[in-house]
Amino acid sequence: MRKSLVFAAIGAASLATASTDAWAGSKIFSPGSGTATVNGSVEFNANQNRDPWVAQVFATGGGSCLRVAVTSQGADLEATLVSPSGRVWQDDDSNGSLRPRINAQTDVRGWYILTLSHFAGSAVNADFTMQISRPASCTPVTGPGILAAQARKAGSAEMAGPRGGAN
């Protein structure tokens, strides 16, 4: 009994120290101005289901910079970031070598949905590494668009706003 309590205490202490830099899973929270490195995969299966990589990233408030930069990838990926208010940032190649980078000037505090998928929607199996940071300066800023549903309300059938990069 005493041994198991000691091991439980050591395990809890190691978990507490391991999670001080960042939390990852379906939600990514990295306090302060540090950089969190995240590895992931975009996949498809035998039924041709395309499975983008999806997570939520916390932003501390309107006006702060949130940078998502893919540093390596096994296929040409596109990143999409969606604010809780519906604002959308999307980029394909701004980080060089067909890698996406989003510099988002956030509009509200909360959890932003981040998706990585093949730029053309193709079925691929690709691993990637990306960095998520909150730099003091957010230049160049990736221009935000609006969701397609909001664009249709405004009388346009396409997403408004520029997309970074080109293929």
Weakest mean pLDDT among 19-23, 27-31, 50-54, 106-110: 19-23
Q: Which domains does the chain have, with CATH numbers?
A: 22-152 (2.60.120.380)
Q: What is the mean pLDDT of residues 43-64?
A: 84
pLDDT at 94 over 80: yes
Q: What percent of the chain has pLDDT over 70?
A: 69
Contacts of 4 (CB under 8 A, 6+ apart): none
pLDDT at 6 over 60: no
Q: What is the pTM of this model?
A: 0.69
pLDDT at 153 over 50: no
The single-letter code of the amino acid at 148 is A
